[in-house]
Chains A and B, each alone.
Chain A
Amino acid sequence: MAEPPILGLLGEFGTADALLGAVKRAREAGYQHIDAFSPYPVEGMAEALSIRDHRIGWLSVIGGAVGIAATLAVQVFVNFDYPIEVGGRPLIALPAFFVVDFELMILCAVLFPIIGMLWMNRLPRLHHPLFGTPRFSLASDDRFFLYIEADDPKFDRDGTRGFLGSLGAWSIEAVRP
């Protein structure tokens, strides 16, 4: 009987340092498709997994620019389209516009990165195969998991299981679709 297909192997670790060490050794061993799960962001993990993603920051900059430009455009437009003359005061009154400009610049500079973050993380996604793994619920409590995907070129069911064991994983579970 052939074994049912699996998506990957999940190794459990007790501390953030153990996980960080395991990730580094997995990278050294040549694994590419790996991910780490932790109850809180672990310092140095992004570097260990060589995650270099600056898009969030740029989204904020773009959002701010779009926000202020669009608000200014709307304000100028409505003052031309429906001019309200008040004692000869200028219609395009930049100082009076500035508060709203600034607020909407801020609003867009926050909305863009947050929406971008959710979109890039592919959230909301209420179900994921990892949730089917019994011990994975501890990833939000006090355990740290290293996940090696089955589509990794170096993945080999028994070899990878042995490798995770050699890293000192407390438990090793197969993730099924």
Chain B
Amino acid sequence: MASTSRPILPLDQSLHDVSVEIGRVPLRFPARVPWLIALIFSLALLLLFFVSVTWLMTWGVGVWGLNIPVNWAFAIHLYVWWLGLGHAGTLISAMLLLMGQDWRNSLNRFAEAMTLCAVVCAGIYPIIHLGRPWFFYWMFPYPATMGVWPQFRSPLEWDIWAVLTYLTVSLLFWYIGLIPDLATVRDRAKKRGWQVFFGIFALGWRGSARHWARWQKAYRTTAAIAVPLVVSVHSEVSLLFASGQVPGWHSTIFPPYFVLGAAFSGFAMVAMIALVVRHFFGLKEIVTDQHMDVLAKVLLASGLMTAYGYVFEVFDAFYSGDAREIATTYDRFFGMYAWSFWGAVLFNFVPLQGLWFKRVRRSPVLLFLIGTSVVIGMWLERYMILVTSLYKDFLVSSFGEYHTTFWDWGTYLGTIGLFFTPFLLFIRYIPSISIFEDKEVLAREKKEARHG
């Protein structure tokens, strides 16, 4: 176990304080008004989502701005973006668990919830961008009366299985990690309704040593498998691109570049959510400045690795000597959509450099702004990768333009509501920070402090 020299949690609190501090959030919710405002706002966006999807189902994908040649537009762009945001949750939870990084224990729970909500938003896109979304179940191999089977050599099948697996594994990982905490809240609850609610979902957890032993094995096994899963899911996304013919999608760095970019945007999102949650719930003793400091360092590191991906992608185009690859690179620099390339560079990497300084890392406002900038930057990057490659490829006859429509934006902003509505319900009704894992850390740190 890697133990930091300085304790990550303040040592003047007891194990009981941790139960009280986190467990009170669902039982006696502290931030009713801001939460309600946020919920109303996200419900409005969710309504927009339903309106947009209804419109889409009524008129077909023509209501979006996609066309030939830019036939992969917002749907795939945002699929990649949302999925990427989700990945950091799994990485924080699983990878840092295996590495014994104690600081993760204050962040993992809502990071996992963020993953779940983001994967739902991502998963909805491949479905609604089908011409006839109500037949999405044709992607499953079931013995249909028509006698046909799905085409397993198609990337669409990769998508559905990758997303479905990712969603299921994230849900299970989140839930089995939550069971002991549900038991804690069940035992603290005073009202009958809460006791029944948490009682059912805690499955009758008792904290038996035998249960813990098996639970720990299952949890760590899932964590160990979730890390390659994240890598495989976002590599799969980058392979969707590589299976197209278009220039600009064939750099060999694509899989790691996509995975790192995903982690980068996701860490930014986790930092933003952590700052907001701890501010409104008064959880500064649990999510400390030091947590944010470490998270900011991880954000900086993953950002620099993503920057390496940018550099290598350009290098790769010129090194290949392929005329069309080089032309696409020039189009990215100077073409019609150059704003998306330079915007991505600007938003992703310029404010990020502030994180070299401790004062910036520990300033909630600055860290939040940098996080926002990164999320916007990664949004632009995914847009750039798609549109700049598609709008001009090999033949002049297949050059075209892409312009978004109202319904593109309606659907996109709607998915933000689809993301925040369940997330807000989660932080309201379920312990949003891991209680037992924080107790474990606190007990260990106290012991270390006693023994010097």
The chain A residues found within 8 Å of chain B, CB to CB, are 15-17, 23, 35-42, 45-46, 49, 51, 53, 56-57, 60, 74-75, 78-79, 81-82, 84, 86, 89, 93, 96-97, 99-100, 102-104, 106-107, 109-111, 113-114, 116-118, 120-121, 123-128, 130-131, 137-142
Contact = CB atoms under 8 A, between A and B. Distances in A.
Contact of A114 (B150, B176, B239, B439): B176
B212 interface: yes
A125 B202 CA distance: 9
B217 A123 contact: no
Given A140-B207, A142-B15, A97 B443 contact: no
A96 B218 contact: no
A38 B421 CA distance: 35
Contacts of B443: 15-16, 40
A173 to B, nearest CB: 15
Contacts of B15: 39, 141-142
Nearest to A83: B149
Contact of A140 (B187, B213, B233): B187
A175 to B, nearest CB: 12
B153 A41 contact: no
A20 B211 CA distance: 16
Interface in B186-215: 186-188, 199-200, 203-215
B439 A40 contact: yes
Nearest to A15: B443
B48 to A, nearest CB: 32
State the main secondary structure of chain A at its contact with B. helix
A56 B221 contact: yes
A106 B229 contact: yes
B439 A49 contact: no
A106 B165 contact: yes
A126 B200 contact: yes
A132 to B, nearest CB: 12
Nearest to B163: A103
Most chain B CB neighbours (cut-off 10 Å) among A37, A42, A49, A141? A141
B6 interface: no
A26 to B, nearest CB: 12
Nearest to B434: A40
A46 B207 contact: no
B152 A121 contact: no
Given A123-B204, A125-B204, A126-B204, A104 B210 contact: no
13 contacts: A37-B208, A38-B212, A39-B15, A49-B210, A51-B209, A56-B221, A75-B152, A79-B153, A81-B149, A97-B152, A110-B172, A113-B221, A142-B19
Nearest to B179: A123
Contacts of A100: 152, 157-158, 161
Contact of B213 (A53, A89, A142): A53
A110 B433 CA distance: 23
Contacts of A79: 149, 152-153
Contacts of A139: 187, 206-207
> Which residue, of A37, A46, A100, has the highest number of chain B Cβ atoms within 10 A?
A100
A109 B210 CA distance: 22
B417 to A, nearest CB: 29
B67 interface: no
A97 B153 contact: yes
A39 B222 contact: no
B369 interface: no
Given A74-B141, A107-B168, A117-B218, A42 B209 contact: yes
B162 A103 contact: yes
B172 A114 contact: yes
Nearest to B157: A100
Contacts of A111: 168, 172
Interface string B237-249: 0010000000000
B208 A103 contact: no
B401 interface: no
Nearest to A97: B152
A125 B199 CA distance: 10
B225 A39 contact: no
Which of B165, B200, B222, B228: most chain A CB closer than 10 A? B165
Contacts of B218: 56, 113-114, 116-117
B322 interface: no
Contacts of A42: 209, 212
Given A57-B221, A111-B172, A127-B204, A141 B19 contact: yes
A48 B166 CA distance: 37
Q: Most chain-B Cβ atoms within 10 A of its Cβ — which of A56, A81, A99? A: A99
A18 B218 CA distance: 27
A103 to B, nearest CB: 4
B147 interface: yes
Contact of A125 (B19, B166, B203): B203
A106 B200 CA distance: 28
B368 to A, nearest CB: 31
Nearest to A34: B209
B403 interface: no
B306 interface: no
A73 to B, nearest CB: 11
Nearest to B153: A96
A139 B154 CA distance: 52
Contacts of A84: 151, 153
Contacts of A120: 214
Contacts of B233: 103
